[in-house]
């Protein structure tokens, strides 16, 4: 996520092909951030998409993956963004970073009230010359490690499916919170065949309809984790990690691989 930016309140239309979305982002950066034509030529948007399923009463955020100097140029020119502009731009961080920031939020508010200028550096808060890191969660059982936790999990697997010599399989692990994600992957990879897959894509969501934490991993199969996350959202799956493994068969499948990943993820969710 280090090269990703999130754009909030970018007007949404349906349908919205990728090239239209990219054009909106370029228009925003050029018109609202006053980026020079020379710097605009250096901005490269590898891909961009809306976060989550369509919502009738809410404009979905846009996450854009940038390359080269693109992110640095945009972040540097955010100072030109007028306060009345509804669009906001933030860096994308995994849930763990946001959880760390939440722990330091009272210090941030206190510094603001004192007239100081607190600044975030990922999940570290700097107030003047002082730096604060989020406190670590207390682990009451000092003998519990991720390997021991993994042994208590019970992965479930689907049958394999084959497409042009590439093999796919779905897996599901019940988890209680995000701290179970690494043990869940360890539990899956304890199967040497799973561990030897070319790609081990996964997505998870823990919580309830009111509050949840989710994330995904492509593991080199671009769009694979996002596809699994779409299944989780549409199937209303909570407190589970859904994984799809692929053994590459030597032939590029193009967009057909997403259908295979989707089918395996749905089967894994149903098998849970």
At residue 269, φ and ψ (nearest 5 deg) are -65, -40
CATH architecture for segment(s) 4-91: 2-Layer Sandwich (3.30)
Q: Please tell me the predicted confidence (pLDDT) of residue 137.
A: 56
**Between 192 and 226, residue with greater pLDDT:** 226
219-237, pLDDT tens digit by residue? 888 889 999 999 999 999 9
29-77, pLDDT tens digit by residue? 999 998 988 999 999 998 888 887 777 788 888 989 888 889 899 998 9
Q: Please tell me the predicted confidence (pLDDT) of residue 212.
A: 84
4-16, pLDDT tens digit by residue? 898 999 998 878 8
At residue 224, φ and ψ (nearest 5 deg) are -65, -50
151-188, pLDDT tens digit by residue? 678 889 999 999 988 999 999 999 988 888 888 888 88
> What gap in Å lies between CA 33 and CA 199, rounded to an integer?
39
Residue 141, pLDDT above cutoff 50: no
**Between 96 and 65, residue with greater pLDDT:** 65
Characterize the bridge pairing of strands 240-247 and 199-207. antiparallel
Provide, rounded to the nearest whole percent, the portion of the chain with pLDDT above 70: 92
Residue 139, pLDDT above cutoff 50: no
Q: Please tell me the predicted confidence (pLDDT) of residue 120.
A: 80
Q: Which of 118, 191, 126 has its CA nearest to residue 155?
A: 191
> What six digits make up the tokens of 168?
């796919």
> Tokens 């054009």, residue?
23
Residues of the chain with CATH 3.30.230.30: 146-270
pTM of the entire predicted model: 0.49
Q: Which of 99, 101, 77, 104 has its CA nearest to residue 89?
A: 77
Residues of the chain with CATH 3.30.70.1820: 4-91
pLDDT, mean over the chain: 85
CATH architecture for segment(s) 146-270: 2-Layer Sandwich (3.30)
């Amino acid at each position: 996520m280090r090269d990703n930016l999130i754009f909030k309140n970018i007007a949404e239309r349906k349908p919205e092909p990728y090239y239209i979305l990219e054009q909106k982002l370029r228009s925003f950066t050029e018109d609202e951030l006053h980026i020079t034509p020379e710097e605009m030529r250096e901005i490269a948007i590898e891909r961009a998409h809306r976060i989550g399923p369509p919502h009738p009463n809410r404009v979905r955020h846009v996450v854009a993956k940038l390359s080269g100097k693109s992110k640095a140029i945009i972040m540097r020119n955010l100072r030109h963004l007028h306060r009345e502009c509804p669009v906001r731009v933030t860096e994308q961080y995994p849930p763990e970073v946001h959880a760390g920031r939440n722990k330091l939020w009272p210090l941030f508010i206190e510094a603001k009230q004192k007239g100081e200028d607190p600044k975030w550096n990922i999940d570290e808060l700097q107030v003047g010359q002082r730096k604060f890191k989020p406190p670590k969660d207390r682990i009451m059982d000092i003998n519990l490690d991720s390997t021991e936790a993994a042994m208590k999990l019970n992965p479930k697997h689907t049958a394999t499916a084959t497409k042009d010599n590439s093999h796919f399989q779905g897996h599901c692990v019940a988890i209680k919170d995000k701290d179970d994600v690494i043990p869940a992957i360890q539990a899956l990879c304890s199967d040497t065949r799973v561990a030897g897959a070319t790609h081990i894509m996964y997505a998870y969501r823990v919580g309830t309809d009111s509050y949840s934490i989710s994330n995904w991993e492509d593991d080199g199969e671009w769009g694979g984790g996002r596809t699994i996350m779409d299944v989780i959202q549409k199937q209303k799956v909570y407190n589970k990690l859904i994984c799809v493994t692929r053994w590459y068969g030597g032939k590029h499948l193009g967009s057909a691989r997403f259908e295979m990943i989707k089918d395996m993820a749905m089967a894994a969710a149903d098998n849970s």
